[in-house]
Amino acid sequence: MQDTVDMVDDPEYEEEEPSFSDPEDFVDDIDDEELLDDILREKPQEADGIDSVVVVDNVPQVGPERLEKLKNVIHKIFSKFGKITTEFYPEADGMTKGYIFLEYASPNQALEAVKNADGYKLDKQHTFRVNLFTDFDKYMNISDEWETPEKQPFKDFGNMRHWIEDPDCRDQYSVIYEAGERTAIFSNDAKEPITVEERARWTETYVRWSPKGTYLATFHQRGIALWGGEKFKQIQRFSHQGVSLIDFSPCERYVVTFSPLMDTKEDPQAIIIWDILTGQKKRGFHCESSAHWPIFKWSHDGKFFARMTPDTLSIYETPSMGLLDKKSLKITGIKDFSWSPGDNIIAFWVPEDKDIPARVTLMQMPSRQEIRVRNLFNVVDCKLHWQKNGDYLCVKVDRTPKGTQGVVTNFEIFRMREKQVPVDVVEMKESIIAFAWEPNGSKFAVLHGESPRINASFYHVKNNGKIELIKMFDKQQANSIFWSPQGQFMVLAGLRSMNGALAFVDTSDCTMMNIAEHYMASDVEWDPTGRYVVTSVSWWSHKVDNAYWLWTFQGRLLQKNNKDRFCQLLWRPRPPTLLSVEQIKMIKKDLKKYSKIFEQKDRLSQSKASKELVDKRRAMMEEYRRYREAALQNYHEQKSIRLELRGGVDTDELDSNVDDWEEETIEFFINEEIIPLGDL
């Protein structure tokens, strides 16, 4: 130990310092990312956070004395779309510059602000222009040289409306059976359905046709798939986990999906609106409950859609999916609303509030002009019923008149095509079970009363301002009204608890064409032409007797189609006719000429069917004859084998080997009766 100390203290002893320099021929092949990857990941980026920043232009230029007030107004408007973390108001010469920067907590909130606040009118001189901060960088980096866009391959899905070109004008319908395991598409025929397509596990729950029949929607755990064309190829799919409900816009441009599984405050995904052609998500919305589906109701042309929240009616426009005029309608106490099927008019009703009566309002869109307001008193509830063409609106008003007990129902009939929209009233003191307008006409039907004394009344709205009771059938077994899509004919049905009673009515003279029954029927579906109607017992509501029956509009039963665990039948809708009103009138005028052509075609088809049936039977008979001859030949060829097996005894004929027969008599004691002589 002492020797070591002496060596350290000796000034002549110097320890050589190690060299940390790289040799001259050393090549450094390790980059910073490999060496310091974990540290570099945390390095702040130049563009961090700018996805959440929006730039608002056309902001009023103010001095210090009005700056605080401006900030409060801006914050109130823009905090609706999310949490604002930073606000910056650039200034020059003591005045704001007319544009500001707002940073949100997330990029989705910033995007929502751009969608809803761009174009917001603050006052007459100031309309906001709102852009994402990242958009400026994108526009600055656009090349000055034109680049030809890449040509996308054309996807040919075939004729999307091929079924309309059927030479025999057969309509199609979808059927789900085997408890949802199988789905089939059939062409309707009076004799028997013709299978068009059939697949196993095509959908996981149910199917839905689009309003014009172009697409068939199927449901899956991961989303929705749309099918179409002659072979029902997949046209589009929309990823929405746990989707349970959908709705189409009337123009078939958009589809709305709902899932109870996916929703966050930052990124609303409970309800998503999709563009059908591109498959792109247009906008997402929050949704607390789907009890009243559809949440969004569409205008007849698909240009607007609206939803109701407490004290608010929000109307959105397409294709921007933004609020109309950037603001919702404040309607205190609004209970329900409905679009006209023929015009961009919204009807809504508000209940009574202290001394203010209940009211029904008709509002024109997009001007928001009130075209009619109707005050109502002692109102319990209201229901809005539009006629299919939007010619009439019926408001079913349940009232409790002062000084009386019980509920009285008024039908307030708004004549939409007349000046100042006059209103007629029909009062009914019995309880109302069902109400329905004739689709293409001015009649309506009402089921009223209590079982077993249920009455069916038919009314006609006349041009002279009167509503006439045409006919009333008493003691009907019915709880539902189903009009033919073409009007005039209807089915009064007693579904489920009423054991499937059916009454086929012609409302032109109010005659009962037929009375029938489909036991435990749960659904009634008219075909688009009004020629046929289907009644069915769904496995979803009743576990036995699952089938669908096809009837003529007069109530003549054509088919009984039993399907194992049948669930659902839906007719494929037809798009609106391309014929003008004048052309339709000409066809009706020359109907006898066309009828002769179709009657001749029907006779030919019947004779053709008869010939096919005879040919089929002849073929079956010929097949049987050939089989019998082959069996007899085989029988004769095996006779020697039979004789050998039976010791030379021929048992082929009943009277063979008579000499070997032995006669044997067998007696049976049947009965014994003793009769006393004294009784004779």
Clarify whether residues 484 and 571 are in a common domain: yes
Report if residue 377 sits inside a domain.
no
Series of mean pLDDT values for 10-residue runs along the chain (680 residues): 47 56 68 66 61 91 91 89 90 90 89 84 86 81 80 82 89 95 94 92 95 95 93 92 93 94 75 92 83 90 93 92 90 95 95 91 94 93 94 94 82 93 92 94 93 90 88 92 95 91 94 94 95 95 93 95 94 92 88 83 72 82 94 90 83 67 78 69
Alpha-carbon distance of 130 to 121, in angstroms, equals: 12
Alpha-carbon distance of 492 to 505, in angstroms, equals: 8
Report if residue 190 sits inside a domain.
yes
Clarify whether residues 567 and 602 are in a common domain: no
Clarify whether residues 447 and 533 are in a common domain: yes
Which distant-in-sequence residues (6+ apart) come within 8 Å of 528 by Cβ? 171, 485, 571, 572, 573, 574
Segments forming the whole domain that contains residue 106: 50-136
In the listed set 560, 576, 592, which residue is the last one of a domain according to the structure? 576
Clarify whether residues 174 and 86 are in a common domain: no
Which distant-in-sequence residues (6+ apart) come within 8 Å of 633 by Cβ? none
Clarify whether residues 446 and 555 are in a common domain: yes
Beta strands in 268-368 (DSSP E): 271-275, 281-285, 297-298, 304-309, 312-317, 322-323, 329-330, 336-339, 345-350, 358-364
Q: Tell me how many domains the chain contains.
A: 3
Q: What CATH number is associated with residue 70?
A: 3.30.70.330
Clarify whether residues 610 and 475 are in a common domain: no
Clarify whether residues 486 and 615 are in a common domain: no
Clarify whether residues 95 and 130 are in a common domain: yes
Three-class DSSP labels, 515-527: EEECCCCCEEEEC
Alpha-carbon distance of 403 to 187, in angstroms, equals: 59
Q: What is the DSSP string of 26-95?
A: ------HHHHSHHHHTTSPPTTTTGGGEEEEESPPP--HHHHHHHHHHHHHHHGGGS-EEEEE--EETTE
Alpha-carbon distance of 519 to 536, in angstroms, equals: 9
Report if residue 166 sits inside a domain.
yes
Clarify whether residues 471 and 596 are in a common domain: no
Clarify whether residues 127 and 165 are in a common domain: no
In the listed set 91, 120, 136, which residue is the last one of a domain according to the structure? 136
Cα end-to-end span (Å), the chain:
158
Q: In terms of Cα–Cα distance, which of 346, 341, 265, 270 is closest to 306?
A: 346
User: What does the pLDDT read at residue 333?
Assistant: 93
Report if residue 591 sits inside a domain.
yes
Report if residue 259 sits inside a domain.
no
Q: What CATH number is associated with residue 487?
A: 2.40.128.630
Report if residue 31 sits inside a domain.
no
Strand pairing class (84-88; 568-571): unpaired
Whether the Cβ atoms of residue 415 and residue 425 lie closer than 8 Å to each other: no
Q: In terms of Cα–Cα distance, which of 571, 501, 497 is closest to 541?
A: 497
Whether the Cβ atoms of residue 525 and residue 536 lie closer than 8 Å to each other: yes
Report if residue 93 sits inside a domain.
yes
Which long-range contacts link 219-223 to residues 24+ away (Cβ below 8 Å)? 219/243, 219/244, 219/246, 223/257
Region at 461 (left for phi over 0; alpha for psi -120 to 50; beta for the rest): beta
Clarify whether residues 448 and 554 are in a common domain: yes
Clarify whether residues 72 and 183 are in a common domain: no
